[in-house]
Structure formats: C-alpha cells, structure tokens
Chain A
Amino acid sequence: MVDLRKGEQHVNDQKYKLTLCDGPTCIHNRSREIRESIESEIEKQGLSGQVSIHLSGCLGMCKKGPILIVNPGYVMYGQVQPEDIPAIIKSHLVEGNPVAGKVIQEDHLYNRFFRIFGDVDFFGKQMRITLRNCGIIDPENIDDYLSVRGYEALAKVLTEMKPTDVVAEVKKSGLRGRGGAGFPTGLKWEFTANQKSDEKYVICNADEGDPGAFMDRSAIEGDPHTVLEGMVIAGYAIGSRKGIIYIRAEYPLAIARLEKAIAAAREHGLLGDNILDSDFSFDIEIRLGAGAFVCGEETALIRSIEGARGMPRPRPPYPSVSGLFGKPTLINNVETWANIPVIVLDGGDWFNAIGTETSKGTKVFALAGKVRNTGLVEVPMGTTLRKIVYDIGGGIPNDKPFKAIQTGGPSGGCLPAEYLDTQIDYESLAKAGSIMGSGGMIVIDEDSCMVSLARFFIEFTQDESCGKCTPCREGTKRMLEILTRITKGNGKEGDIEKLQRLGRMIQKSSLCGLGQSAPNPILSTIKNFREEYEEHIREKKCRAGQCAALLSYVVNDKCVGCGACKRVCPVNAVEGTRKEKHRILEDVCIRCGQCYDACKFDAITKA
C-alpha cells in the first residue's frame, strides 16, 4: 500500500521552497520568465540544491499577480517581474531579509484551512474549502498533494466505511450541487447507488462555459487530485468502476494537469485495479468537449460523451436512472467533487455547520466587473453580497456608486443596491430574482447601461442555444431583436410588455435550464431598472452613455477652434473655421466618440 505520508518528507527536504503561481493570468504576465530567472539566479548565487521551485494553480488573486511565495514563512510577493528576482533571491534567500516593497502584507489573520495566506486581507476574509490547496501545493506533483492529507479520505473510505456510510456522510453534510441548480448531492448519490445495474458511471462536469467564470478551471489547475479523489470515493459509494471527466478543449493547462494527475494516481495505485490493495477498482478517463455552452447541461453533456450532438433531452428519466449509454450515472460539477474529500475527512457534521439553514459549506465566485480586487473568492454560504463587493472585492474603483450586481452567469439576474445585504444562498438569491448559478459575479456601476447589459447576455444565450426547443431557439431571438431595437433608439411602446410576455413563456416552457434561465437578466433588469428601459424607448436616452445610437455630441462654448476634433473625425462630421467655435453635424456623426477623447478643452458635451 502506498505510503500516504511520504509526501511530508518531500516537502521538508529543502531549505527554501518557492511557489510560483502558474495560472493563466500570471503566465500572461511573464511568470514563466520569472521561473527561468529564479533558476539562473539560484545557480548564480550558489543556492543550488537548497531551493525547490514549485508551480501552483491560480491563486485567484489575479490583480496582484504574478505571485511568488517563499517558504518557510509564507512570505508572498506580488506583481513580481523577472527583474525583481535577483534582489529577492539575494536579500531573502541569501541574507534572510524579505524585500519589503514587494511583499503583500496586511494584518495577520489565520484561516481555518491548512496553511493559507491569512495575513493577506484578500484571503483572510475568505474561507477556502474547495480551493484549500490551490496555490499551496504543486498541482503537478502528487507528493505535494499527499503531504496535505491527499487521498487520506479515500483510504479512510476503503478501510473504514461501507458504501452506504459514505452516502450517509455526504447526505449529512448538506452539500448541494455547485453546478447551478443546487440539487442535494447526497440524494443524487443515493438515487444512483440504489439503482441495480451491471455498469454505472461517475462523471465530472468540467464544461465551465459562463463567460468570465474560471472557478472550475482554477480548481483543476491548482488541485487536480482533489477532483480525482472525490470521484473515486463516489465510485466506491455508488458501485461504479468508471469515471469520466468532461472538460472543454479550451482548457489545455487544466487538461494537461489532469492527465498528469491521473497517470500519477495510477502509478501510486490510487486509480485502476484494486485501489490501495482493496477489492475496489476504478479508473478515470478524460473526454474533451468542443466548447458548446449547452454541454454543461447534464443530459447534453452525456449525449456529447456518447458521440452525439450535444442537445438536452427531457427528464425524467434522470441520469441517476438512465444516463450515459443508458446506465445509472452520477454527475457532479468540479466544485462539488472538490468538497468530497474534506467532507469524508472532517465529517458531514462539520461541513453542515458552515453556511445557512438550506445552503451548506462555501461557494467560489468569479468576481469581475467594476470592483477593485477582481478574481476568485471562496466564502461561506450566507455571506452578504456587500461583504464580497466591499470587504473582499475592495469596493468600486474611483468610489463610484454601486449600481447592480449580476450573479449566476449569463442567465442570472441583476440585483440593485437594495439587495446588497442579501445573504448568498440558493433560496435567498432566487427570492431576490437571481440565481446562484455556477458562481459568476459581475459588479456594475453607473457607467453600465442595464438594457445593453441584458442585450449582451441574451445575445450570448441565443448564440449558445442548442436550437432544439422552440421557446429558447426562436423566443430568445425575438427578445434579442426587441432589445437591439431599444438600444438603437427604435424601441416602441409595448416592447417591455412583449419582453416580459416572451420571457415568462420561455422560463416556463423551455426544455432545459439554459432556456428556462435565459430570460433572467432581462426580466430582472426590467423589474429593477424599468425606468432605464422607458427612457430608452420614450426619450431615446441612455443614462449610462453606453448606447452609441442614443448619444449625441455637441460642441459647447469652451471651444477654441483648435481643430483637433475635426482632424480625428473619421466621417468628416465636424465643421468650422480655425479659431472659431466648431459644429458637429448630427446626421453625419457616427457617435464613435473620437472627438470627445481628442478635445483638450472639455468643449464637447456627450448627451
């Protein structure tokens, strides 16, 4: 049997352990060059053999990247550039003095989870269960995972628990599916476990498709073994021998790390026949998706794995009864899987104590939009939106007023300021008119037009509709047309009512969750920002100044006649003689805004 403890040693061998964030944003910001620089500096400064370099998955703190962590001491450097490396190596590793200017350091708080960067405010206010190892361990090194109690839960399950015990523990935890719908995970396991079948499947849904969402990708890139471990445990619990991870081909780094992790797990006897010398055998393979949004819907995903066009089918039968190739199938999302090992190790009761009455544990959000600290945040259920936006997110840049927050990805709703104290859980968000979804969270300030925003999202869902059912295929197209004409200044009386009528019908009648939730951004913005729609339609006015067709540019009395606007105008819409006030011809103007940007005298008014 594999020695699950030997990882600890591996970590303690060297004098210094450097961890470099290898998430896509950091890679984009030259983290790979930094790595080369570190390697050569270590050589140069005579530290060969004393320092190990590890890569981590995305830490979620993308705004501060690239991030370099020096252990022991968990000293975290932010916005590191290759040029900074010689000084850091010399001062910190050779002389023992961290380079103060580069260290991200705030009050010292200690997070409950393993070793975490609690002294950094961004992390200190989070609670990391799903992402507990992301940024801590080298995702490409199974020993690193073993050193943080990796696969211990699996060992516990195989040696101490009956399959029914495992299901009971997951049920006790109160964990609900993190893919969006929030179905109780334990029940899903129980349904699948109760099916009699010669073959059953366990599927990991890693087809993360929401624009701007990268929770699942980061979880896999930072800690692939956790997902594998969760799936193997489920295989044991429901009586399956075969797991499949369905992941989009656009995630090459995550795929590479999964492949490496699967190979390493097989080598260590943690996957394959007779896992940890038990009677239980389970293996996992990866299937790549072509990136259709709808393939995140479980029945479409299953069809895609089967080799057919990814289109949802009506349920029942649910996959737990008839799933992949007609066999009982347990399908959970990446984030759900990542919770399983912790629940097994620390117990369902412990997990159940976190969160709210109906929603337990933590949830990862991809915080984006008009907020200072964009990135990945994991918070306990029940945290308020305000806390995420202002405490963790650091508020809105330039202290502009908060206008709305859009949760749940492209099919979520937009909530205005009066909902900022809404607790995040499945029911509260639904009551407020939005959804948990898979965890997208976009902060909106007054510069955003709510009609354009709604239009953007319905354009996405219309584009990604599989085309199977009428309400989603045809209905979202008509909604998009109506919204487009409103933003172009051609809106008509009655358009709002048409949008509502279509929206409600689509919600009630569509085949799958994509269609049923597609009208959410529109219905919620109509509910909460109806006056903006009315302004667009009646006054042909966009208060955020975002709908180009509704803007007009007018030269005011500050004009000195310098001619800068005239020179940049691509359509010759500006006329006037030098040193005299100029004029913009409204009929010719295409509202590109170049004159506005070019004017140094504030002489052009946008209205």
Chain B
Amino acid sequence: MTDKITIHINNKEYQVDLGQTIMQAADKLGFHIPRLCYHPKLSIEGACRVCIVEVEGARNYVASCAFPVSDGMKIHTNTQLLRKARRDIIELILDNHPLDCHTCERDGNCELQRLAASMGIRHRHFEGEKKHYEKDLSSDAVIRDPDKCILCGRCVRMCSEIQQVHNLTQAHRGFNTVVMPAYNMPMGDSVCTACGQCINVCPTAAFLEKNYTQELFEKLNDPDLIKVAQFAPSVRAAIGEAFGLEPGRNMEGELVAALRKLGFDYVFDTQFAADLTIMEEGSEFLERFQNGGTLPMITSCSSAWMKCMEQFYPDLIDNISTCKSPMSMQSAITKSHFANKIDVDPKKILSVAVMCCTAKKYEAARPELEVDGMRSTDIVVTTREAAWMIKSAGIDLLGIEPEEPDHPLGVSSGAGAIFGTTGGVMEAAIRTAYELYTGETLVDIEVAAIRGLKGIKEGKINIDGKEIRVAVAHGLGNACKLLDEVRRDPDKYHFIEIMGCPGGCVGGGGQPYAQVNTIPLDDEALKKRAEALYDLDRAKTIRRSHDNPDVQKLYKEFLHSPLSKVSHKYLHTHYKKKTPVGIVPKTQL
C-alpha cells in the first residue's frame, strides 16, 4: 500500500510513491542524480555529498540518497549554483587524489574518473597538500592503497554490514582520516578474510587484488615448465563482461582457447574437481549422517569462509567438511597423479588457477594445502587479471574459436558447473548423496528451494524415508547469522552450504568490475551469471558428479574410493583456530 504524492523536479510536476528518497524517486523518473558513496545494498552514508539537490525551503542542500520525498516538495537537481557546488566537491576529491590515471589499474573502470568527466572539471582551483600513505602489501590477496581512497566508506560498510567481518573502519580525523584495519594492522595480519568485496565496491583503486600477471607472463615464457591451468565455474559466466558483453554469457570454450593461446600446455576445468569434491563431500556427509558424526556438516569450498570460520567460529571446526576446495583438489591431483601420468617431475609443473575469487590467493598460500612438500597451486589470478592478460597478449576472446578442456582433468558434469552459484554445491551434493544412499536415481534434480539470491535458504530432502534438513547461506554476514542459529540449536540442520561472497562465486571478489552505468554486485547481473551456469547444467547429458567418466576413472586408477587413504592424503585438509590479534579470547578474560 503506497500513497501517491506530488513532487516537482526542475519545475515539472510528477506523481510518485511516498516512502522513498529523492534519489529513488528521481531514478524512476529518469533523472540520474550524480552519486558516489551510495550503494543500494549498503546503508545510507550521505558522506560524499555528490548527490546533493536543492529543496525549496530547506536552508542547505540535501543529500538526495538520504532525504525522503514529501508531498509538494520542489526539488532542483541542476541549478547553476548546485552544479558549481557539486563540481567543487568533486574537485576537492580530485585535489586529494594521486591523479595517476594512466598508470592506475582502474583506468577506464573508475567511478571517480567517470564522475569527474561528467562534471566537466577542466581547471583546478584548490590544489594543495595531498595525503600520502604506504601501500599495504602484506596480504597475499588484497592490497590496500589509502592514497587512492576517497573515503566514500563503501568498503567499510561492505565489510561490516554484508560480510560482518568488521575489519575496516575509518580512523583518525579531518584531513588525516584513513580507512584501515583495527590498530592499523597490516591486512595480512588482520581479520580480513580476503573475500575481496571491498575491491568490488571500491569506486577507485584503494583496494586491489595482489596482481600476479607479470609473474605469470614470465613463467609462461619459461620453456622448462609444464604450464597447467584450471578455471573456476563462474569465471566463464563473467569474463565476457570485461570484454563488453552482457552478464551471463558462457565463455567456457573461448576461455579454454584463450588460455592455450596464452601459453598453457594443459587447460583443465575446476568443474572436474567440483565433481570430485562432491564424491568426497557427499560421502563424508553420509558417513557422518549414518555413523553419528558431527552434524550439521558445513561445506568448505569457500576460502574466505574458511578464514572467517577459523577466526570467529572455531567452536564449529569439527562441523566443517575436511574436503579441500575444488581448486586445491584439482591442483593436488595435477601435481601427483597427473604428473605421474605424463611422467614429469611435479616440481616442473606450474599450476595456475583462474578464479573468480581473491581469497583463493590466500588459500593457495596456506601451508597445510601443500602436496608432497610442494605448493599445490602456484599462482592464482582472478577473472579480472585473466581478462587483462588476454587483452594484453592481443588475444581476441570474442572472435576466437571455442575449444574443449584437456583430459584427464577437464570433463565435468552439470553438477560441477553449478558450484559457482549459491546453493549449487548443496544441489550437486544432494544429487549424488541421494543416489549413493538409496541406490536409486534422483528424478527431479533441480532443487528450487535453495536457488536464488535470498540470504539464507532452507530445504528438506527426503532420502529413503529420512528427512535431511539443509540450509544455504551466501555472503559472510548471512553465514554468521546462520551459524549463530547453529550455535543456538545444533540439531536444526544436517547439512549446510556456505559461500563467502554475495551470490556465491558468481559474485566473487575477483570478478570483472561493474561496467559503465551499472553498479557493482547488481542483483540482476548476479542472477544472469548464475543463470548461465544453470543453463550449462541443463545442457549437459551428465548432470551428476558420480556419473563423470573421468572422475570414475580417477578413482579406479589412483584414489580407489571416496574417503580412502589416498583421498585423505591429497583431497582432505584440516583447520586451526585463529585468534584475531587484539581480541582477547573469552577464556582469558
């Protein structure tokens, strides 16, 4: 029930719904008021003051993102004085910004750059001192560069409101205000989960992934190395956006071809390891379910979630599946069984993962994931980095002839594809667990209840007369909510899927930046990326992980059976409680 009211914008009368802000009303009427700190998924900050408008009768300009419309309101969005004020505000931001656009990673993709261009700032009146801070390069995944920061607070709100990690905050006052982790701790030592969502929402380059493209180019040119690539499910659903395509175009074949052209000797598909994960994780769940193991069992694919859990929910470590993530499984098999098969020293293999994720860079460096004393994944590059490399090498991704991934680690089922979206791991697991448990084939394999972008989704599956209660959360904030529920009522669920990023991997911290006139993490874009993966699933004849012939072959030749000794050596891991620095554990209080 909404009441209609009359407002005037720039002397024209409009009927709009009550209960919205000036910006929302104006958006619907086709007035795009310039904005910077505003993000529809985050709380209203009102900090940048770019979206100011004049409301007749008000003493000062009001921030249209925060101010509600009221009946009879007369709004001006474009008076000369207002334009001048807005222009000056943006100039003030530029005056304290490095303006090294040509050498900046966000060149061409920077919201501040676009905004400044649209304001027509041709002269600078107020130039003066600029802030200077050292770049924080301590993290394996996320770089913090306060010089580029314009203090819009999006990262702070993302980190606390959506992810509930609360790592970032504004510190100090006035001109010395800076966004940093608590106690100005290096990102690498902080509670940062490396999810990379700060990068996604940052309008400039104040947060970036740690870039490994130069190192990778160097290694790709090393003739002594066997270069092996894998790429995550959701990379194929998003990389096209970096080349100007609409979200949701599946670029799997093109990407395989491009990676070969970049110099990889073998291009495998992480979806293969996703199927492998389901074999192990599904079996692990049934083992726990049947033999009174710790339940609910919680998935372990998401690296940001792993760190989040070790820091904030160490009491639930026993609930976490011991399965490595698909990336680490794929790398482990690459450097063991595959190396054997092609008869090379695994030390000569360069194992590279193209991921939608920044936290995978952190994961790859975790010592417990080493295989036979070697790092299993040598280099992780994000979708963005891969896109840049493809462009930089002059490869025409859009015009390229699609190719198939290599054997023996390249074939995947539809279940492996949907790993890239929230609910996908659970759905894939259900398909296999049902069959492993009952010996019958699940007919209706699409589990609607756990699809979509709702924060926490619940479902019940009846397996052989037994009810299995499952829950799915995406985004660490939703995960925390769900786990608080588990702490209260440990018997509420049997099986839980958690993905650290909003929307799951399709919304990963390493995905292409929002294009012109779109917003980062737009729900529509996330849905389209997810839909591309569901389409991929539907198009496959093999839609269950255990039906993947290459997976079956791998068990026959190497792993024997799920949860076997060999499996445990290569495909499973363990977790440790991590006490965040500066936080005193309850036991010591």
Contacts and interface: CB of A to CB of B under 8 A. Distances in A.
B319 to A, nearest CB: 30
Interface string A462-500: 111111111101111110010000000000000000100
Nearest to B173: A467
A471 B170 CA distance: 17
A313 B37 CA distance: 13
Contacts of B172: 467
Contact of A467 (B48, B52, B89, B176): B176
Interface in B56-78: 60-61, 63, 66-68
A498 B125 contact: yes
A464 B173 contact: yes
- Among B48, B67, B92: residue with most chain A CB under 10 A: B92
A265 to B, nearest CB: 32
A474 B126 CA distance: 10
Interface of B, secondary structure class, is loop
A462 B63 contact: no
A498 B92 CA distance: 13
Given A467-B172, A474-B93, A507 B46 contact: no
Given A292-B173, A468-B153, A511 B49 contact: yes
Contacts of B151: 467-468, 470, 473
B175 interface: yes
A473 B175 contact: yes
Contacts of A505: 84-85, 88-89
Contacts of A336: none
B114 to A, nearest CB: 17
B468 interface: no
B95 interface: yes
A478 B95 contact: yes
A470 B89 contact: yes
Given A467-B173, A478-B126, A507 B60 contact: yes
Contact of A313 (B46, B95, B173): B46
A96 interface: no
Nearest to B63: A314
A464 B66 contact: no
A510 B60 CA distance: 8
A46 interface: no
B173 to A, nearest CB: 5
Contacts of A508: 52, 60-61, 85
Interface in B115-147: 125-126, 128-129
Contacts of B47: 468-470, 511
Contacts of A465: 173-175, 177
- Among B49, B68, B172, B174: residue with most chain A CB under 10 A: B174
Nearest to A507: B60
B67 A477 contact: no
A311 to B, nearest CB: 7
A52 to B, nearest CB: 46
Interface residues of A, number: 34
Interface of A, secondary structure class, is helix
Given A316-B67, A478-B95, A478-B126, A473 B174 contact: yes
Contact of B128 (A292, A478, A510): A478
A475 B44 contact: no
Nearest to A477: B175
B96 interface: yes
Contacts of A463: 173-174
Contacts of B44: 313-314
Interface string B146-158: 0000110100000
Nearest to B127: A478
A379 B549 CA distance: 92
Interface string A82-114: 000000000000000000000000000000000
Nearest to A472: B174
Interface string A499-533: 00110010111110000100000000000000000
Contact of B49 (A313, A476, A501, A509): A509
Interface string B508-533: 00000000000000000000000000
B61 A481 contact: no
Interface size class of chain B, counting residues whose CB lies under 8 Å from the partner chain: 35 or more
A468 B93 CA distance: 12
B68 A311 contact: no
Contacts of B66: 314
B52 A509 contact: yes
A292 B174 CA distance: 11
A469 B175 CA distance: 11
A481 B46 contact: no
Contacts of B129: 477, 481
A309 interface: yes
Contact of A502 (B46, B49, B88, B96): B88
Nearest to B86: A509
B169 interface: yes
A511 B67 CA distance: 12
- Among B60, B67, B95: residue with most chain A CB under 10 A: B60
Contacts of A474: 92-93, 95-96, 175
A467 B170 contact: yes
Interface in A433-480: 462-471, 473-478
Interface in B171-194: 172-177
B85 A477 contact: no
A509 B93 contact: no
Nearest to B44: A314
A580 B93 CA distance: 58
Contacts of A292: 173
Contacts of A498: 125-126
Interface string B78-91: 00000011001100
Interface string A290-322: 001010000000000000010101101000000
Given A316-B67, A468-B151, A478-B92, A509 B174 contact: no
A468 B153 CA distance: 8
A469 B128 contact: no
A466 B67 contact: no
A411 B174 CA distance: 15
B582 to A, nearest CB: 16
A501 B85 CA distance: 9
A509 B89 contact: yes
Nearest to A479: B126
A509 B89 CA distance: 9
A511 B153 CA distance: 14
Nearest to B179: A467
Nearest to A313: B46
Contacts of B68: 316
A477 B93 CA distance: 12
Nearest to B150: A470
Nearest first, the 10 closest Cβ-Cβ pairs linking A and B are A467-B177, A314-B46, A314-B66, A474-B92, A465-B174, A478-B126, A481-B128, A477-B175, A505-B85, A468-B47
30 contacts: A309-B170, A311-B170, A313-B44, A314-B44, A316-B68, A465-B177, A466-B173, A467-B174, A468-B153, A468-B177, A470-B47, A470-B89, A470-B93, A470-B151, A471-B92, A473-B175, A473-B177, A474-B93, A474-B175, A475-B126, A478-B95, A501-B88, A505-B84, A508-B60, A509-B49, A509-B85, A509-B89, A510-B49, A511-B46, A516-B60
Interface of B: 44-50, 52, 60-61, 63, 66-68, 84-85, 88-89, 92-93, 95-96, 125-126, 128-129, 150-151, 153, 169-170, 172-177
Given A469-B46, A509-B49, 5 more contacts: A313-B46, A314-B67, A473-B175, A475-B88, A477-B129
